Structures are given as C-alpha cells and as structure tokens.
Amino acid sequence: MTSVPSFELPVGQRAPALPTQTIPCERFRLRCGALLLVSARSGMPITAVEAHIGGGPSLDPAGLEGLAFLTGGLTDQGTSTHNESAIANLLEPAGGEIRGDSTGLNGSIVSSEWKLLLGLMAEMLIEPTFPAPKVRRQKERILQRLHNESSDPRQQGAMAFRRQIYGDHWLGRPAYGSVESVECIEPRHLRAHHRKHWVASRAIIAVSGDVDPQAVKSFLDRRLGGWKKGRPLIRREFEFPSPRQSVKVVRAKRKQVHLYLGHLGIRRSNPDYPALVVLDHVLGQGPGFTDRISRRLRDELGLAYTVSAGMTASAGLSPGTFTAYIGTSPEHVTTAIHHFLLELRRIQDELVPVEELRIAKDYLIGSFSMGFERASRRAGYLISAEVHEHPADNLQRLPRLFEAVTPEDLQRVSREHLFPERCCLSAAGPVKIAELRRAIAQARC
C-alpha cells in the first residue's frame, strides 16, 4: 500500500470543514481472471465503462514503436460479430460511444442500455478483427499527424525536451511512433500484439452508473468467459538520467520561441505528492493566473499569454517531469529564462506567505471534488486508484493533506524536488544555442 505523510493540527485547533468525495465500489474477480470494479449510483443517467490493459506503449517492440497505440485505436473498428458500421448503428440511438487507445477501451451510454455497451466492449476485448482497410486509414492519419508535428515548433520543442529528460526510454518518444516505425506496422503485428498483451490477467474493468453490481458481474462472466487469461504483466524498473543541465535547440523560422525548462520529476507514490500539488498551485498552476509564474512572466512582464510550471500532473508509475513552459518572442527569451529560474530559487529561499498559501489551498481543496459527478470521471478514478494502490479513503485523505501543508513544508519539498541549477532547456524557434547558454549563465549571476 502506498505510504502517505502524516499530518497534525496544533493543539486545540479543529480541523476545518473540508469538501469530501466518496465513490462506493464493489470489487469482483471475474472467472476469466480480470478485475471488475463497479460503482453503482441510482439515478445516474449515463453509465461509463473503462477497460484498462496494463503495459501500453512500454510493450512496443524495437522498430515497431506505435504498435500499442495503433492496436488500441483500431480495437473498436470491428469484431468478428459486428463491423464498424454495425457498431455505430447500435450505439448511436442510445447515445453510446466507445473509444480505444494504447491502454484499453472506454465508453459510455444511457444507463438503461448498459448491457449493449458492455456486450460490444467484451467483443472488442476478445475478438477485434483489425480489417486491412481500417489499418491503412488509421496509419495514414498517424503519418499525417507526424508530418504536421514535424513542422510545429511547439511540438518539436516538447519532444526534444522529453528526450533530454528520458533519454532512450519509451517515455522519451511519441506513443504513436515515428514515420519509419508506423510504416512497418501491418495487421498481423496488431493481431499478435492484441493476442499476447490484451489478456484477462492484465485487465481492470471499471463500471460507473445506475447499474446492479452483481448483474454486471454475471453479465461479464458470461460475455468474457472465453477471454484468454494470459500472463500477468511484469513491470520493469528503469534507470533514468539524473537531473543535469543541457540545452537543445530546434531551429524554426517562426515569430515565437517555445521554451521548455525542467527536469525529471516524481512518481505518484512519492510521499511528498500532496505538498507538491500545493507547490504546483503556488508556483505555476494556480487559479486565474494567480500563481507566481503567471503573475510575473505574464501579467507583470507581459512576456506571453500562455505560461505554466508544474510537476505532479505527469506523475505516474514512472517519474513524470517538472516542466516550465512559455511561448514568447525571440527578444524576450533571456528575460523568460531568468525569471523562471528566479522564481524556482525564490520559492526555495523564502517561505511562502501564509495568505498566498491560503489562496492556493482554498482553490485546490474547493475544486478537488468537482468533476466526480460524471460517470466517466468516476470510472477513470477507480482504474487510477487500483493501478496506483491508493488507500480506500484516498479521496477523504487528500483534502486533509492539502490543508495540512505549511510554508515550511513547501520550502522543504521545493529544495528536495526542484533543481534550478540542473535543468534541461529546450527551445524551438528562431533562437541560437549560444544565446540560450548565455541566458542560463546570466541567470546564475
């Protein structure tokens, strides 16, 4: 079970009334071996289903990068029983939809038709057909996306930054592969990948809506009875490059420079996660542009409209990234770099004022439970909680942990998890690498 830091209130002080969220859940192990999580809520008009298959792009073979992405994206394009048109004709009258991606399927439908949704998703999990014309069309779409991104400085800067952070790890490349790898993928590769990796022992199915949990279990036991159990996923641990200073430039004849500055981040299981969420809201992801990065670089200096900085949003089973981003004009590059690094050092050197911290926590805690009214959000949370081994009371615990964060906590975690002297810097646009190096050197003075 993931460990979390303890928190204490001063003697005599009562804990403030905090908005909380509860998502009831019944757990079942299906006969095929898949884990089923059902959150029933009477009167919910929409039922959402998410079927998560562990592994995703990490399972792509060398030379076939993008295989998991293409497999998932085509799983909903036809089964041995229903082709794409037949699936659409069944779903559309009930307001239903199903989408596939590299880690599984997700769908929704009016609650009265939940059996239709689950029946079709069960077919896709067991017997997709990967028709050659559909494969060809999807490959063309991905190749067009790669072509468009090759001339998009912001995308190129972002990918260069990820390669700086992750090196040769799969997280350092696009999940949808490269032009060379996508062109090599054939329907037989998709079928082999699905047969080997889309197996019951690696599956978590979450259902949220106006349903009877026992009826859902019985239905899926029948429909997934023939699903191959397969081998459980064995997660590999990887070594990532330590935070280090590096500079990368993607030259482009544009009017704007896209700057990415940062380093390797944390896993979601890190016990400092709650304090770092609060830190993100103070530093670069606060409400209404009230965070420090937005206030300084956007409002006071007028360097750009789009600017942000944060660490926790990308935290997962593998470390995410701390990323500060701004799109600005070439003459403002040095100023932007200087103030990014200045704010990182300032939050390490000076205690955050209590009132500034209060604003960030009020927004964070007040908005925390919003969004869980949607069935899709509930189903997605059930999957995430299972994957990350969150404690059963996680949704009640987190607001209390956010509330307990002090200025001293923020200073400690900023010193332990932010590395302004060892940041990677990637820039895409009309800028030279010597200019960036001078900017970093000047920012140190």
pLDDT digits (tens, 9 = 90+) for 132-169: 999 999 999 999 999 999 999 999 999 999 999 998 89
Whole-angstrom distance, CA of residue 67 vs CA of residue 69? 5
Neighbours of 278 (CB within 10 A): 25
In this predicted structure, what is the pLDDT of residue 307?
93
- C-alpha distances (whole Å) from 221 to each of 35, 37, 81, 83, 112 are 11, 13, 19, 24, 20
pLDDT band at 309, cuts 50/70/90? very high
- Whether residue 12 is predicted with pLDDT greater than 70 in this model: the reply is no
Q: How much is the average pLDDT of 310-331?
A: 96
Q: How much is the average pLDDT of 23-36?
A: 97
In this predicted structure, what is the pLDDT of residue 407?
98
Whole-angstrom distance, CA of residue 127 vs CA of residue 34? 16
**387, two tokens:** 């994957």
Its pTM stands at 0.90
| % of the chain at pLDDT higher than 90 | 84
In this predicted structure, what is the pLDDT of residue 294?
93
Strand-pair category, 424-429 with 246-251: parallel
pLDDT band at 15, cuts 50/70/90? very low
In this predicted structure, what is the pLDDT of residue 16?
54
Whole-angstrom distance, CA of residue 177 vs CA of residue 66? 4
Mean pLDDT of the chain: 92
Q: How much is the average pLDDT of 327-351?
A: 95
Beta bridge partner(s), residue 98: 107
Q: How much is the average pLDDT of 337-357?
A: 96
Whole-angstrom distance, CA of residue 95 vs CA of residue 442? 58
Q: How much is the average pLDDT of 75-93?
A: 95
In this predicted structure, what is the pLDDT of residue 123?
97
- Whether residue 11 is predicted with pLDDT greater than 50 in this model: the reply is no
Domains 26-223 and 246-444 share a fold: yes
Neighbours of 404 (CB within 10 A): 18
In this predicted structure, what is the pLDDT of residue 289?
61
| % of the chain at pLDDT higher than 70 | 95
- Whether residue 319 is predicted with pLDDT greater than 70 in this model: the reply is yes
Predicted confidence (pLDDT) per residue in 243-299, tens digit: 888 999 998 888 899 999 999 999 999 999 999 999 999 999 876 667 999 999 999
Whole-angstrom distance, CA of residue 132 vs CA of residue 38? 36
Q: How much is the average pLDDT of 402-419?
A: 97
In this predicted structure, what is the pLDDT of residue 445?
64
Q: How much is the average pLDDT of 22-29?
A: 95
Residue at 30: amino acid letter: L
Predicted confidence (pLDDT) per residue in 200-220, tens digit: 999 999 999 999 999 999 999
CA atoms within 13 A on the CB side of 49: 31
- Whether residue 8 is predicted with pLDDT greater than 70 in this model: the reply is no
Lowest mean pLDDT among 116-120, 175-179, 226-230, 440-444: 440-444
Main-chain dihedrals φ then ψ at residue 27, nearest 5 degrees? -105, 140
In this predicted structure, what is the pLDDT of residue 235?
84
End-to-end alpha carbon distance in the chain: 45
Domain covering 246-444: architecture: 2-Layer Sandwich (3.30)
More confident of the two residues 438 and 115:
115
Burial 223-249 (b: 16+ CB within 10 A, else e): bbeebeebeebeeeeeeebebeeebbb
Lowest mean pLDDT among 119-133, 176-190, 357-371: 357-371
Domain boundaries along the sequence of the chain: 26-223, 246-444
Which of 331, 283, 322 has its CA nearest to residue 303?
A: 331
Beta bridge partner(s), residue 325: 260, 308
pLDDT band at 10, cuts 50/70/90? very low
Spatial CB neighbours of 67, under 8 Å, sequence gap ≥ 6: 59, 60, 61, 177, 181, 185, 189, 190, 193
- Whether residue 3 is predicted with pLDDT greater than 70 in this model: the reply is no
In this predicted structure, what is the pLDDT of residue 288?
63
In this predicted structure, what is the pLDDT of residue 4?
36
Contact 282, 410 (CB under 8 A): yes
- Whether residue 185 is predicted with pLDDT greater than 80 in this model: the reply is yes
Which of 144, 142, 131, 150 has its CA nearest to residue 182?
A: 142
In this predicted structure, what is the pLDDT of residue 5?
39
Whole-angstrom distance, CA of residue 177 vs CA of residue 145? 11
CATH number for the domain running over 26-223: 3.30.830.10
Q: How much is the average pLDDT of 322-343?
A: 95
Q: How much is the average pLDDT of 316-324?
A: 96
